Structure 1
Amino acid sequence: MLRYDLPASLVVFLVAVPLSLGIAVASGAPLAAGLIAGVVGGVVAGLLGGSVVQVSGPAAGLSLVVAELVSTYGWRATCMITLFAGALQLLLGVFRVARAALAVSPAVVHGMLAGVGVVIALSQLHVVLGGSPQRSAIENVAELPRQILDIHDHAVYAGLITIAILVGWGHLPQRLRLVPAPLAALVVASAIAAASGWDVTRVDLSKSLESWVMPAWPRGDWHGIVAAVLLVALLAGVESLLCSVATDKLHNGRRTDLDRELTAQGVANMVTGALGGLPVAGVIVRSSTNARAGARSRWSTVMHGVWILVFALCLGWTITLIPMEALAALLVFIGVQMVNMGHLRNLRGHGEIPVYVTTMLGVALVGLAEGVLLGLGLAALLALRRLTRVTVRVTPEPGGHWHVSIAGSLTFLGVPRITSALRAIPAGVPVDLDLNIDFMDNAAFEAVHAWRTDHERSGGSVDIDEIHDEWYAMGASGARVLPAKPPPPAPDRWWLPWAHRRRGRSSAAADLAVASARVAPAVAGVAAAGGDGSGQPDLLAGAREFHRRTAPLIRPFMMGMARKQEPSHLFITCADSRIVPNLITASGPGDLFTVRNLGNLVPRRGTAPPDDSVAAAIEYATEALGIRTITVCGHSGCGAMAALLGGDAPEGMPALGRWLRHGRHSLTRFAAGSGAPSETPGGEVPGSGDAGSPGDGDGGPLDRLCRANVLQQLDNLRSYPAVDRLVREGRLELVGLYFDIGTAQVHVLERPPLAAGAM
């Protein structure tokens, strides 16, 4: 581990020192406070923390809070507030409430950091330009024009050079960027200022170390002190936990123990407060640098803290060479980076940009605590709006019927919209009302029930189908309605094979034991006869899952189809277990009239040996059902085609050998190389992929035979007079599909024109 962690610790150390100094300046704290926080964050939080690569230290997001506390209570009292905040974090970690902090909307956190960045950049820009920060962001903006127009001395150039290097560093070749940008910028600016003899502002770190004092009890209103402790504890804790979650995405090691991390942050803040350091939090800049530098364990974080301590004790004199204007320029750059446009792109898809902007403007214009509260309030309102969103569709149908669909959560907030839509329905008409809802409160029930009563009183009828849960039925019967939504069902992955969903033998055995009490009698009867471990339990578990999840959803539709089927397609495909017609065509019950056999073969009319099964299905589909499309679907790697290509059926399977005789025309077509399939213009079924890369897809003999077989079966269909007549009249379409199993793509095969006499 050392060969990875040692170099990473040095890289993080080089990044952390200038950032710690700059954040101390922005916080109005002694420069030594930033270095103390860097040491404690590395050593204490690194040793005790729950993340293996997260790096803690002074955070720019807390600089406004610290600056306000220093202005109100003084530096010594601010250290005591930091100590108390750490004790609170420790207590919260012990009670394992860390994950509750993740309930804070990231839009609020990112907006807060962006607002802090705006304030830091605006205030420190005045220092870069040779002036002094104003009291608020608005005053800083208003003062900027005059500040820019004033003539300044050469010290201003130190800040401008720093910003130029920070901006341009990322565009240099990788081999020239071994030194972190902040360190390079400060070194270059300091060297130029020293060589040019510029009169710059400098700070002596030794005086800062010599003036160290113990923390003091804060004086003032205790309500304000308690609020300050809560604010520091919560902001530092939330930032650390969110940083842990983000850092986990940067490495493949052990995931973060959030409660342990919060506990470690608490201990670190108690130590840094006692030693006179800034508040500590997990910092994404240093953490991402650590992960990208190849750190494998927490020792990289610990060693980086040791390097900061060695630097402060042995090389602290070098800080006197750094111009304050250069440190201010570094803070301007950090502040601009805190307004991360990547977060805006992520939030845009979730409609949370208003929360981000509100928080950012609130922090910048009003204050940190006020801006966070504004953001939290707006986030709560938007969440409430989403949770109570209701969709109402009212559609007139032929025959005078009206169809109403109501979906969402029916609460008192949605009553005006519901009643407005229902009143638009004419009196006396029959209405089908579908309720696809996950909650209904009393106000919504009263509104729907009152409308139904009035509508039926006027001579109309209302047929209510509840697709999700029977909220209306429970309300009408007087049964107790639970005050909260039911838990959402687990993801329904019915399309996965049983092997991927099996829960274990003990669970399956337990399910079989209670099968008769949970499923329909017919299924239960099968369960009683089939629990022999031969594979049937999977099928029975699937039947139980159908009864539990799917049957309630499709029951209204199945009741309408119970007396008559009206499919639009005859679908002829292989019996291969990997082909699921309804899955690959996104169809449902009643859509496909399906025929399955080995090799998706259609025996020609009058062929020997005769096969009445396929012929009967074709006759029934065309004459009785009036289907409009016949589709033959082949697939890659077909076993029947492989046997046909090999020339012999497997030994001991005489019936298979006789059946494969119906494929001899496909073999002849393949051998002649005529009528080869081609893709439709554009390639395939829209959205299914690249038609030019078929499946098994190497274009080998078996692949070509499988495709040619599909086209041959379409020709065989024309040997049936009814099919040929309907095709010629334009009332029936023949379609060839090819399913590439390996890539899960469906290709449409285009038939070449038939030569005269080909039939």
Structure 2
Amino acid sequence: MTINTHSNMMNTLRHDVPASIVVFLVAVPLSLGIAMAAGAPLAAGLIAAVVGGIVAGALGGSSVQVSGPTASLTLVIADLILTYGWRATCMITLLAGAVQLLLGVFRAARAALAVSPAVVHGMLAGVGILIALSQLHIVLGGSPQRSALANLTELPGQIIGMHGHPVTVGLVTIGVLLVWTKLPKPIKAVPAPLAALLVASVSAWAFGWDVTRIELPGLLSTWAPPELPQGDWGRILAGALLIALLAGAESLLCCAATDTMHPGRRADLDRELSGQGVANMVSGALGGLPVAGVIVRSTTNVGAGGRSRWSAILHGVWVLVFALGFGWSIALIPMEALAALLVFIGIRTISLGHVRKVHGHGEVPVYVVTMAGVIVLGLAEGVLAGLALAALLALRRLTGVTVLKREDHEGRLNVTISGSLTFLGVPRLTQELRAIPAGTAVDLDLNIDFMDNAAFDVIHSWRLDHERLGGTVVIDELHDEWYAMAASGARMYPAKTPPKAPDRWWLPWAHRTPEKSAPAPGSKPGTACRLTWGAHEFHRRTAPLVRPVLTELARKQQPSHLFITCADSRIVPSLITASGPGDLFTVRNIGNLVPRRGAAQHDDSVVAAVEYATQVLGVRTITVCGHSGCGAMAGVLSGGVQAGSLPGLRNWLRHGDHSLARLIETEGDRLDSGTLDLLCRVNVQQQLANLRTYPNVDEQVEAGELELVGLFFDIGSARVHVLPPLHPAATAGSAHSPEPE
């Protein structure tokens, strides 16, 4: 135990103490700015930073998250202060903390993660724009208005009559923030917000600029206990609930984000929510702003090397020491510099990265509606609007209907209907079914997990009408028989059919669940058991689906490609080419080698396949596919040493000597640790050249009747790359030229 204690202490001194100092330097200016933007006493921001660091850091469920006052609650706090006063707002913060504590005790934290990230990012963007608009007036020497519309209306007048010195201080602050990230790494060790405020303060003092100074009264001398709000308690409790939910959601989402940034233990979300609740109760009692997990401070902590909760706790201690012993230095900071810092932070909340993420999932409307709602209507109204739109879009996706039509070679129309068939999809369903010509033979596949009565009526009525007009309809249900049960008058169950797990046939045996890897009845355990089990699964799941295709192919094969690839077990041609039965005529050998015509190490196997594919089957393409990390090419690079006591393998690998020679000739000055994969690529190109040493292949290529294609499969990234053939000059004279003995 003594050794573990000593080790923990050394880790704290080595990693957490330096990280806590960096976070402290970031936290002080941000805490002061957020308090100023909310219209709260500046000391309230520092109190919240202290409590967030010490209390939430000690009691929370994350080892690296740092808590403190957050810009996302600025609008809520500002409105509560204007309505009830500061001391009553502290009581509301205390009540919000009690709500969070109860939610954590009843293990409700996971529910907060169900909020769409588009709503969260849209809310933050809207709050950021509002903060930037309001603080821009201070930078221009004026006063912020109560609404975004009023701030926009007054902005032109502020710009026309802007005061010189305040604007200069603001420009200096923003300029430092923009330039700081481009400076050398040793200089960037000082956090950008601190550097910007230092430069602005020193500049204002040196040039004697007329700016507004910040006054920070003593923390102890100005403290007063919270008081009960006076007014409608329904609205008061709604305000407390809003703070609890918004601060809790931000803390938990921040927790989930920081979990991906460090290798330590994952966060306990319920404990984190309870810890945040206690911190808000303490902060409210001491006269501080609401507390939440803050992504800026948390990422700074991880980036600075913080490994345990001690970095968050110590950062709170440093803020307390600063507030009690060096609070006088805050009077040197121009208020316009703090306002410029908030303008910069507000604009940065509009992240193009977040927009791209939500765009990829079709949730840009949710993001825009939330952001616009927060700006125009208010924070709570904007969030509710975003949540409502997200719910509607989710409902639309869940009840969406997909109808695919395809006519086969016999003239039958195959129609596949997928999704959940409810009354919401009836218009689309009716339109698609009525578009089917009368008298058509239809195979209707229902790939559905639910069907209500409205959808059944549409399909059943269409079927009766279609058959009455001379058409035929064959219905096949891929899941439970919703249509068949409804047509027979059986009772329909209200719940959706639990979707079957996807048939992940492409996964290796070792990656499948124990249930799926169970041996077939009557088989013996062992490696062969997996093959018999695989055959059993094929008969049960896949054979019914592919039997019509294989029945047709049983008469004759007509592949369009000859596919030559390595025998490596990780290469599955049908998987990486998305091909099916009858598409590829496949040849596999070690190293995907094609012996040159007349090679000393004679081999007819590959040649026979090439001749049969080109002259009997009439393939139009020959593909040679290599792969990364090929063991055969490693053997070629070693001069056969890695083949060991395998004489057959050594002889076979001599067919790769030309690939090695080609590599040295063309890439000799670039050989390094990536030489193996480079040789694997060159080997593919060389085998394409080897193919043209056979007269029949070369003639067909020259006549445009045959195409040679090179592929390279990067196993680690699961990507297939197309390789260009060697330059014609490199292969000139190779056709008809046998390998010298």
AA matched with 2:379: L
Aligned to 2:578: 586
Mapped to 1, the partners of 2:474 and 2:675 lie a distance apart of 49
Match of 2:222 among 200, 211, 235: 211
Identify which of 460, 468, 474 aligns with 1:463.
Answer: 474
Partners of 1:597 and 1:149 in 2: CA distance = 79
SS at match of 1:250: coil
Q: Is the 8 A contact 1:124 1:133 kept in 2?
A: yes
Change (3 A) 1:503 1:411: closer
Equivalent of 1:120 in 113, 131, 141 = 131
**Map of 1:698-737 to 2, 5 A cutoff?**
699=679, 718=696, 733=706, 735=708
- When residues 298 and 377 of structure 1 are mapped into structure 2, their CA distance, relative to the original with a 3 A threshold, is same
1:295 aligns to what? 306
CA distance in 1, matches of 2:239, 2:603: 90
Partner of 1:422: 433
Partner of 1:32: 43
Match of 2:161 in 1: 150
Query: Counterparts of 1:229-628 in structure 2 under 5 Å?
Result: 229-395=240-406, 400-467=411-478, 470-478=481-489, 483-487=494-498, 493-499=504-510, 501=511, 511-512=518-519, 515-516=520-521, 528-529=522-523, 531-533=524-526, 535-546=527-538, 550-551=542-543, 554=546, 557-558=549-550, 566-569=558-561, 577-594=569-586
Instruction: Tell me the secondary structure at the aligned position of residue 41 of structure 1.
Output: helix
Residues 596, 690 of structure 2: 8 Å contact kept: no
2:112 counterpart residue number: 101
Whole-angstrom CA distance in 1 between matches of 2:640 and 2:142:
89
Deviation at residue 439 of structure 1 after TM alignment? 3.7
Answer whether contact 1:695 1:741 (CA < 8 A) is retained.
no
Distance 2:181 2:678 in 1: 44
Q: Is the 8 A contact 1:696 1:740 kept in 2?
A: no
* 3-state SS, counterpart of residue 210 of structure 1: coil
Asked if 2 retains the 8 angstrom alpha-carbon contact of 1:602 and 1:716, the reply is no
The farther-off stretch of 427-436 and 468-477 is: 468-477
Query: How far apart are residue 324 of structure 1 and its match?
Result: 2.6
Change in CA separation of 1:546 and 1:244 when aligned onto 2, cut-off 3 Å: farther
Call closer, same or farther: CA 1:223–1:732 in 2, change over 3 Å.
same
Secondary structure of 2:467's aligned partner: helix
Deviations 1:134-167, CA, capped at 9 Å, x for gaps: 1211011111111222264745544443333333
Whether the aligned pair in 2 keeps the contact of 1:695 and 1:740 (CA below 8 Å) is: no
Q: Is the 8 A contact 2:694 2:735 kept in 1?
A: no
- Count of residue pairs the alignment pairs up: 708
Q: 1:58 to 1:733 in 2, by over 3 A?
A: same
* In structure 2, C-alpha distance between the alignment counterparts of 1:360 and 1:634, rounded to whole Å: 50
**How big is the shift at 1:339?**
2.2
Distance in 2 (CA, whole Å) between partners of 1:118 and 1:198 is: 28
Map residues 20-99 of structure 1 onto 2, 5 A cutoff: 20-99=31-110
Query: Aligned partners of 1:156 and 1:112: how far apart in 2?
Result: 29
Query: Which is further off, 744-753 or 68-77?
Result: 744-753
What is the CA RMSD across the aligned residues, in angstroms? 4.4
Superposed displacement of residue 40, structure 1? 0.4
- Judged with a 3 Å threshold, the aligned counterparts in structure 2 of structure 1 residues 4 and 613 are, in CA distance, closer, same or farther, namely closer
Per the alignment, do residues 262 and 555 of structure 1 end up closer, same or farther by CA in structure 2, a change over 3 Å counting? farther
Equivalence for 1:191: 202
Q: What code does the residue aligned with 2:159 have?
A: I
CA contact (8 A) 1:159 1:329 kept: yes
Which residue matches 1:13?
A: 24
- Gaps of at least 5 residues in structure 2 are 1-10, 664-671
**Within 1, Cα distance between the matches of 2:327 and 2:341?**
19
Task: Return the offset for 1:249.
Answer: 2.9
Q: CA deviation at 1:301?
A: 0.6
Deviation digits for residues 216-266 of structure 1, max 9, x if unmatched? Answer: 222222211221111000000011111112222332222222111111111
What secondary structure, in the 3-state scheme, does the structure 2 residue paired with 1:205 have?
Answer: coil
Identical pairs, percent = 62
Structure 1 window deviating more from structure 2 (318-327 vs 257-266): it is: 318-327
Deviation at 1:179, TM superposition (A): 2.5
1:561-605 per-residue CA deviation (whole Å, 9 max, x = no partner) reads: 567655444556676645533234331123234566788889999
Mapped to 2, the partners of 1:488 and 1:403 lie a distance apart of: 23
Contact 2:613 2:619 in 1 (8 A): no
For structure 1, the residue ranges without an aligned partner over 5 or more in a row are 517-527, 679-691
Return the alpha-carbon distance in structure 1 between the equivalents of residues 485 and 646 of structure 2.
61
Report the more deviating stretch, 747-756 or 131-140.
Answer: 747-756
Per mean C-alpha deviation after superposition, the further-off stretch among 408-417 and 573-582 is 573-582
Determine which of 126, 129, 143 is the counterpart of 2:140: 129
Q: Which residue of 2 aligns with 1:227?
A: 238
Distance in 2 between residues matched to 1:106 and 1:137, nearest whole Å: 24
Distance 1:674 1:652 in 2: 21
Distance 1:632 1:166 in 2: 54
Contact between 2:695 and 2:736, CA under 8 Å: does it hold in 1?
A: no
Aligned with 1:26: secondary structure? helix
Counterpart Cα distance in 2 of 1:451 and 1:159: 70
Give the Å deviation of 1:365.
1.2
C-alpha deviation, 1:367, in angstroms: 0.8
Q: Which residue of 2 aligns with 1:525?
A: none
Tell me how far apart the structure 2 counterparts of residues 616 and 45 of structure 1 sit (CA, whole Å): 71
Structure-2 change in CA distance of 1:551 and 1:377 (3 Å): farther
**Whole-Å separation in 2 of the counterparts to 1:674 and 1:85:** 71
Distance change (3 Å), C-alpha of 1:422 and 1:731: farther
Q: CA deviation at 1:19?
A: 1.1
Q: In structure 2, what is the equivalent of residue 523 of structure 1?
A: none
SS at match of 2:470: coil
User: Residues 539 and 479 (structure 1 numbering): CA distance in 2 closer, same or farther, change over 3 Å?
Assistant: farther
In 1, Cα distance between the equivalents of 2:72 and 2:450? Answer: 40
Deviation at 1:754, TM superposition (A): 6.5
**What secondary structure, in the 3-state scheme, does the structure 1 residue paired with 2:419 have?**
strand
Alignment CA distance shift 1:443-1:742 (3 Å): closer
Q: Work out whether residues 596 and 738 of structure 2, in 8 Å CA contact, stay in contact via their aligned partners in 1.
A: no
